[in-house]
């Protein structure tokens, strides 16, 4: 056998059809997988950073605030008087008590009208009839009662109006619930609110300065008003020119109080 025949390589058999794996192909697949992992890691980190940044941004928007309460007062003179006046009558029968009491109430109303009280300023507030009993439970008679709520817009005439009504009604007259008011207190409320806001700003400024801050804008205001009724003063009865004593009334002054709760921002 010659040397040429010895150097001939054997051809592959028909069963060996698969191609051999190249080392470069495996290396490229590993690099691609590594790149995908790196990109996914970067995306997750970016989302986490964005989430943290968004949280910090939202928390920084919550401004510091201070809440204070200011009060203001304005005084005025009442121009309206309200009172309840009525008549009570006792009789042997319920019908008799009601009939006599009604006649006395009619005289009372007429006397008030003669003193300038408008019909629209009088309103029946109570009408009752009840039996009276002795210690043994026996009926001794009946009592009829009728009361009116009266409003007068001229206080200086109220005393004489009450006197006239009392004389017209007789001994059974009843007077209760006298009070004074200001018919239009809008100007007093305006003054009281201005004073309350100034007081609130002063308190907030002092507190903020002590804490090393300054007052910013107003965030919220809550308003509450309160009207205090003055005490009723009855002077000693003095005789008029006709010799009949008149009941004098002193309206005094009335306070309108306002409280405001203000929320300021701090800067």
Residue range of the domain that includes 119: 80-181
Q: Is 29 inside a domain boundary? A: no
> Do 197 and 130 share a structural domain?
no
> Do 174 and 192 share a structural domain?
no
What is residue 67's three-state secondary structure? Answer: strand
Q: Is 244 inside a domain boundary? A: yes
> Do 225 and 104 share a structural domain?
no
Q: How many residues does the chain have?
A: 267
d(CA 78, CA 104): 31
| Percentage with pLDDT > 90 across the chain | 59
> Do 177 and 194 share a structural domain?
no
More confident residue, 50 or 190: 190
Q: What are phi and psi of 201, to 5 degrees?
A: -65, -40
> Do 256 and 241 share a structural domain?
yes
Could you give the number of structural domains in the chain? 2
d(CA 233, CA 251): 7
> Do 238 and 261 share a structural domain?
yes
More confident residue, 70 or 45: 70
Q: Which of 160, 165, 170, 167 is nearest to 111 (CA)?
A: 165
Predicted local confidence at residue 111, as pLDDT: 95
d(CA 91, CA 104): 13
Q: Is 101 inside a domain boundary? A: yes
What is the domain-level CATH number for residue 117?
A: 3.30.70.2970
State yes or no: pLDDT of 131 exceeds 80: yes
Task: Tell me the pTM.
Answer: 0.62
| Percentage with pLDDT > 70 across the chain | 70
What is the domain-level CATH number for residue 262?
A: 3.30.110.170
């Amino acid at each position: 056998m010659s040397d040429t025949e010895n150097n001939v390589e054997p051809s592959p058999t028909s069963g060996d059809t698969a191609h051999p794996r190249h080392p470069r192909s495996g290396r490229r697949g590993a690099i691609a997988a590594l790149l995908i992992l790196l990109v996914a890691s970067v995306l997750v980190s970016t989302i986490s950073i964005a989430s943290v940044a968004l949280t910090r941004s939202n928390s920084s928007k919550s401004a510091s605030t201070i809440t204070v309460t200011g009060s203001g007062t304005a005084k005025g003179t009442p121009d309206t008087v309200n009172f309840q006046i009525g008549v009570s009558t006792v009789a042997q029968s319920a019908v008799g008590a009601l009939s006599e009491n009604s006649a006395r109430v009619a005289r009372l109303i007429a006397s008030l009208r003669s003193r300038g009280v408008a019909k629209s300023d009088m309103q029946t507030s109570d009408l009752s009839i009840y039996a009276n009993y002795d210690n043994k439970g026996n009926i001794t008679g009946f009592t009829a009662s009728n009361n009116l709520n009266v409003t007068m817009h001229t206080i200086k005439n109220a005393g004489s109006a009450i006197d006239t009504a009392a004389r017209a009604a007789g001994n059974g007259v009843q007077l209760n619930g006298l009070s004074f008011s200001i018919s239009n207190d809008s100007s007093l409320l305006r003054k009281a609110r201005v004073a309350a806001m100034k007081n609130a700003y002063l308190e907030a400024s002092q507190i903020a300065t002590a804490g090393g801050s300054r007052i910013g804008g107003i965030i919220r205001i809550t308003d509450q008003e309160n009207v205090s009724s003055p005490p009723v003063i009855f002077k000693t009865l003095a005789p008029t020119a006709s010799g009949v004593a008149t009941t004098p009334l002193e309206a005094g002054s009335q306070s309108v109080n306002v409280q405001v709760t203000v929320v300021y921002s701090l800067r």
